[in-house]
């Protein structure tokens, strides 16, 4: 393979709903670009991009694939991304390094849930888009209806460059209003006949061409003047104006294909080369630290890793974009993220699992290497003296959580290893071992995402695992003051144990300070506070520990032991074993024994006195409350509102945003299990949500009763 200069490269990502034909389009482009000599099919499980066993079994992309095609002395790097929103990690990482997105629209389905999700992701990354209407040979294909839906969903920036002469099984001809020619294809696609537009289509084509001229001219004052003076523009002028609009996301051209029959593919690739941005025509990735670089071959070499994977018999594969300079075989670079030295012993252009060795790669190109020591996705490799580090990719927050446990306890360690390996390939899995909940929790994007994980355990690693609803990180606190005392006494020959502790506890709220006295159960307690320790608890909230001992009833050396006992019960609350918080403890009296008193005695006395006082202080369970934002189609608003209210949600507001109705609410985490699935069901997959922790609040009485009973039953089982 020849070495391509920056201006000869186009980096594109295929986006769209699952089933819109992204993988089939990739096959057609690879065939047109000479990478393969026979086109594979998804149903035959022999496509270049969906080469993983799970993808062949599921019949859709699960991971992104990196491909390339050579066409008209240019190199097209093609990233085939998953269409399901649960698998968004692959499309987001691909968007990060692509300079252009091809948004595939199924001509029989129109704008679908995955189309909207992909558009939002591209919008967030400020990536230019071409709309590619695919599957125009389907019997239910409707170009006009799909176009109207695109315009209503994404605005009038959606501009026709091509339209089909007819749709359905007879589809074979495309009218190109930029070229003002008709491309007529044979049964199996290939090279078209380039013909004059039929007289019956002339007026429509001219009208659409004028619209295209206007859209192109709007992006350049000199073009606008030419258009007003001459009433038309040359093809070169239109492409110049279109490129400006495309790069600024002010114009989304519409093109037509039938990827399955290779219709429109060569013209699409030609248009990508003519009107799509080269890598150096797009903004440089933001630099977090070190030397500023530009995407030029003459710059200091640097690369950004956007994807890592593991293949049997090969090991780790590192996919990167050359951000600046020139990479050559055996170049030595430094991982700016961890300081490690890495040698790129080999460089490859990649088409799925097939790799072609290349001697060098220039700024803007995408490739891979193997067997790096400690370089993962989001890492930057550069020269040490430059220290250039690029801002890492950001992935969406998890929308689903599940507890994972090996059926056989001897496999627990293997489960952890597998999860870390899978996270290495898909960073939208977040693995957390919760000491508090005593569970290994996988945060993910949804049930489908979780099922992918289960497939790997069942079919690749052969480990039986249980997937359960995670426990909720409740908190415990008190709502009134109470008093207790406890004597720990143990005598079993030799030295004994003795410690007695008297304490008062009360709720701690913002701005509270310790008191000097209480009246409890008709008895007055006067306190003399000698010192106070304030502990900010790792799990949230505070504890104030007040030493009110006078007269030496408890030696000062035992006060830390009493606090240690209290903290043990704070870490495993008396009600449900959850963390306790926001309490003031006053230790005001007690007794010692000159021989038998020791630290363990006072730790146990303090722990038990605290537990007794806690249970008398009208204790309450607190639950985590999350801020929730939900975007739904207007016609589904009522269903989604009803569902939220059934989840104990407090609706905070409603509004409109980007064509969707937006609901803001506060909702208990307990009620959000599998919400992603429910919302998808209620909205036909079009609903979106995000949530973030807000605060802890008291649970309703009936919920607390149910939690207490469940905890008692669990303790009896154990």
Confidence at residue 503, expressed as pLDDT on a 0 to 100 scale: 98
Residue 255 maps to a domain: yes
Size of the chain in residues: 718
Distance of CA 697 to the CA centre of its chain: 28
Q: Find the DSSP H helices in 585-658.
A: 599-616, 637-646
Q: What is the mean pLDDT of residues 14-29?
A: 96
Q: Which one of 560, 590, 618 terminates a domain?
A: 618
Residue 648 maps to a domain: yes
Confidence at residue 713, expressed as pLDDT on a 0 to 100 scale: 85
Find, among 668, 665, 675, the residue nearest to 696 by Cα: 668
With beta carbons less than 8 A apart as the criterion, state whether 295 and 280 touch: yes
Task: Look up the CATH number of the domain holding residue 219.
Answer: 3.40.50.300
| Domain match, 583 and 632 both | no
Q: Which one of 217, 246, 281 terminates a domain?
A: 281
Task: Look up the CATH number of the domain holding residue 331.
Answer: 2.40.30.10
DSSP 656-712: EETTEEEEEEEEEGGGGTTHHHHHHHHHTT--EEEEEEEEEEEPPHHHHHHHHHHHH
Find, among 364, 154, 158, 156, the residue nearest to 277 by Cα: 364
Q: How many CB atoms lie within 10 A of CB 706?
A: 12
Confidence of residue 474 (pLDDT cuts 50, 70, 90): very high
Confidence at residue 715, expressed as pLDDT on a 0 to 100 scale: 80
| Domain match, 316 and 461 both | no
Residue 141 maps to a domain: yes
| Domain match, 205 and 298 both | no
Confidence at residue 627, expressed as pLDDT on a 0 to 100 scale: 97
Confidence at residue 309, expressed as pLDDT on a 0 to 100 scale: 93
Q: How many CB atoms lie within 10 A of CB 496?
A: 15
C-alpha–C-alpha distance, residues 600 and 496, integer Å:
11
Confidence at residue 671, expressed as pLDDT on a 0 to 100 scale: 95
**533-536 contacts at long range (C-beta below 8 A, 24 or more positions apart):** 533/563, 535/567
Can you name the residues that pair with 65 across neighbouring β-strands?
Answer: 80
Q: Which one of 449, 471, 493 terminates a domain?
A: 471
In this predicted model, what pLDDT tens digit does every residue of 95-139 receive, in sequence order? Answer: 999 999 999 999 999 999 999 999 999 999 999 999 999 999 999
Q: Does the structure show a pLDDT above 80 at 141?
A: yes
Task: Look up the CATH number of the domain holding residue 633.
Answer: 3.30.70.240
Q: Does the structure show a pLDDT above 90 at 395?
A: yes
| Domain match, 610 and 642 both | no
Characterize 624-647 residue by residue with b for buried, 16 or more Cβ atoms within 10 angstroms of its Cβ, and e for exposed.
bbbebbbbbbeebbeebbebbeeb
Which H or E run includes 211?
Answer: helix 202-217
Q: How many CB atoms lie within 10 A of CB 245?
A: 22
Q: Does the structure show a pLDDT above 80 at 659?
A: no
Task: Look up the CATH number of the domain holding residue 431.
Answer: 3.30.70.870
| Domain match, 663 and 534 both | no
Task: Look up the CATH number of the domain holding residue 565.
Answer: 3.30.230.10
| Domain match, 339 and 265 both | no
C-alpha–C-alpha distance, residues 707 and 616, integer Å:
18
C-alpha–C-alpha distance, residues 466 and 180, integer Å:
61
In this predicted model, what pLDDT tens digit does every residue of 290-324 receive, in sequence order? Answer: 999 999 999 999 999 999 998 878 889 999 999 99
Assigned token pair, 101: 């997105």
Confidence of residue 678 (pLDDT cuts 50, 70, 90): very high
With beta carbons less than 8 A apart as the criterion, state whether 469 and 405 touch: no
Q: What is the mean pLDDT of residues 406-428?
A: 93
Q: Does the structure show a pLDDT above 80 at 488?
A: yes
Confidence of residue 534 (pLDDT cuts 50, 70, 90): very high
Can you name the residues that pair with 129 across neighbouring β-strands?
Answer: 101
| Domain match, 539 and 612 both | yes
The region, left, alpha or beta by phi > 0 then psi within -120 to 50, assigned to residue 371 is left
Convert 327-349 into a string of H (helix), E (strand) and C (coil).
EECCEEEEECCCCCEEEECCEEE
Can you name the residues that pair with 663 across neighbouring β-strands?
Answer: 630, 654
Q: Does the structure show a pLDDT above 70 at 696?
A: yes
| Domain match, 464 and 358 both | no
Find, among 100, 38, 28, 27, the residue nearest to 65 by Cα: 27
| Domain match, 436 and 344 both | no
Assigned token pair, 72: 């008209």
Find, among 28, 15, 216, the residue nearest to 120 by Cα: 15
Assigned token pair, 59: 């019949």
Assigned token pair, 238: 């239109």
Domains in the chain: how many in total?
5
Confidence at residue 216, expressed as pLDDT on a 0 to 100 scale: 92
Number of C-alpha atoms within 13 angstroms, CB side, residue 240? 12
| Domain match, 259 and 120 both | yes
Q: What is the DSSP letter of 276?
A: S
In this predicted model, what pLDDT tens digit does every residue of 227-282 receive, in sequence order? Answer: 888 888 899 999 999 999 999 999 999 999 999 999 999 999 999 999 999 999 99
C-alpha–C-alpha distance, residues 408 and 693, integer Å:
34
Characterize 62-90 residue by residue with b for buried, 16 or more Cβ atoms within 10 angstroms of its Cβ, and e for exposed.
bbbbbbbbbbeebbbbbbbbbbbbbbbbb
C-alpha–C-alpha distance, residues 187 and 609, integer Å:
86
* Nearest-10 Cα torsion for 113, 116, 120, 122: 110
Q: Find the DSSP H helices in 475-598.
A: 559-571
Q: Does the structure show a pLDDT above 70 at 493?
A: no
| Domain match, 436 and 489 both | no
Q: Does the structure show a pLDDT above 80 at 427?
A: yes
Non-local CB neighbours of 480 within 8 Å, separated by 6+ positions: 506, 507, 617, 618
| Domain match, 199 and 335 both | no
Average pLDDT, the chain: 94
In this predicted model, what pLDDT tens digit does every residue of 216-237 receive, in sequence order? Answer: 999 888 888 888 888 888 999 9
Q: What is the DSSP letter of 258?
A: B
List the domain range (segments joined by +) for residue 494. 476-618
Non-local CB neighbours of 263 within 8 Å, separated by 6+ positions: 136, 137, 171, 172, 174, 185, 189, 257
Assigned token pair, 171: 């589809």
Residue 18 maps to a domain: yes
Residue 716 maps to a domain: no
Residue 1 maps to a domain: no
Confidence at residue 257, expressed as pLDDT on a 0 to 100 scale: 97
Confidence at residue 91, expressed as pLDDT on a 0 to 100 scale: 96
Confidence of residue 718 (pLDDT cuts 50, 70, 90): low
């Amino acid at each position: 393979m020849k070495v391509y200069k920056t201006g000869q490269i186009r980096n594109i990502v295929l986006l769209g709903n699952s089933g819109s034909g992204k993988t089939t389009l990739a096959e057609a482009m690879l065939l047109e670009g000479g990478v393969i000599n026979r086109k594979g099919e998804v149903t035959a499980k022999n496509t270049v991009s969906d080469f993983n066993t799970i993808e062949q079994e599921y019949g859709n992309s699960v991971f992104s694939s990196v491909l390339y095609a050579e066409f008209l002395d240019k190199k097209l790097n093609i990233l085939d991304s998953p269409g399901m929103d649960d698998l968004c990690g692959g499309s987001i990482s691909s968007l990060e390094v692509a300079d252009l997105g091809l948004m595939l629209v199924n001509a029989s389905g129109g704008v679908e849930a995955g189309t909207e999700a992909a558009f939002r992701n591209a919008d967030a990354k400020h990536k230019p888009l071409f709309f590619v209407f695919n599957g125009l040979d389907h019997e239910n294909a409707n170009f006009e209806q799909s176009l109207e839906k695109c315009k209503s969903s994404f605005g009038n920036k959606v501009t026709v460059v091509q339209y089909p002469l007819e749709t359905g099984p007879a589809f074979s001809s495309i009218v190109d209003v930029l070229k003002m020619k008709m491309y007529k294809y044979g049964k199996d696609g290939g090279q078209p006949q380039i013909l004059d537009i039929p007289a019956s289509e002339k007026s429509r084509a001219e009208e659409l061409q004028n619209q295209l001229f206007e859209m192109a001219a709007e992006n350049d004052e000199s073009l606008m003047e030419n258009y007003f003076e001459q009433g038309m523009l040359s093809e070169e002028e239109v492409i110049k104006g279109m490129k400006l609009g495309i790069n600024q996301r002010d114009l989304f051209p519409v093109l037509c294909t039938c990827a399955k029959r290779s219709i429109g593919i060569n013209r699409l690739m030609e248009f990508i080369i003519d009107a799509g941005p080269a890598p150096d025509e797009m903004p440089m990735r933001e630099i977090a630290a070190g030397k500023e670089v530009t995407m030029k071959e003459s710059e200091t070499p640097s690369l950004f890793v956007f994807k890592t994977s593991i293949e049997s018999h090969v090991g780790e594969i590192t996919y990167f974009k050359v951000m600046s300079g020139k990479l050559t075989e055996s170049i030595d670079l430094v991982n700016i993220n961890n300081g490690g030295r890495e040698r790129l012993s080999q460089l490859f252009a990649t088409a799925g699992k097939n790799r072609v060795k290349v001697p060098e790669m220039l700024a803007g190109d995408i490739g891979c290497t193997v067997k790096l020591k400690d370089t993962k996705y989001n890492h930057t490799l550069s020269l040490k003296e430059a220290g250039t580090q690029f801002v890492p990719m950001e992935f969406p927050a998890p929308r689903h959580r599940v507890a994972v446990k090996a059926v056989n306890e001897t496999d627990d360690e293997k489960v952890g290893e597998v999860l870390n390996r899978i996270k290495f390939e898909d960073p939208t899995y977040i693995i957390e071992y919760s000491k508090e909940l005593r569970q290994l929790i996988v945060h993910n994007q949804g049930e489908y995402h979780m099922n992918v994980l289960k497939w790997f355990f069942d079919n690749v690693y052969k480990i039986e695992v249980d997937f359960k609803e995670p426990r909720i990180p409740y908190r415990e606190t008190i709502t009134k003051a109470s008093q207790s005392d406890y004597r720990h006494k143990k005598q079993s020959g030799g030295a004994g144990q003795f410690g007695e502790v008297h304490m008062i506890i009360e709720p701690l709220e913002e701005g509270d300070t310790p008191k000097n006295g209480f009246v409890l159960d008709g008895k007055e307690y006067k306190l003399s506070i000698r010192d106070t320790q304030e502990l900010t608890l790792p799990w949230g909230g505070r504890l104030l520990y007040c030493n009110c001992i006078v007269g030496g009833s408890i030696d000062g050396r035992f006060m830390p032991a009493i606090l240690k006992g209290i903290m043990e019960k704070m870490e495993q609350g008396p009600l449900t074993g959850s963390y306790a918080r926001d309490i003031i403890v006053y230790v005001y009296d007690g007794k010692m024994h000159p021989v038998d008193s020791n630290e363990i005695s006072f730790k146990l006395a303090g722990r038990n006195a605290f537990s007794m006082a806690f249970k008398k202080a009208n204790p309450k369970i607190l639950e985590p409350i999350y801020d929730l934002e939900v975007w739904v189609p207007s016609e589904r608003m009522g269903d989604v509102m009803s569902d939220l209210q059934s989840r104990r949600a407090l609706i905070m507001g409603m509004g409109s945003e980007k064509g969707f109705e937006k609901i803001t609410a506060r909702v208990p985490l307990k009620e959000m299990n599998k919400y992603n699935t429910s919302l998808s069901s209620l909205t036909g997959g079009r609903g979106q949500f995000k949530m973030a922790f807000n605060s802890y609040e008291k649970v309703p009485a009936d919920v607390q009763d149910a939690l207490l009973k469940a905890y008692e039953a669990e303790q009896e089982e154990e």
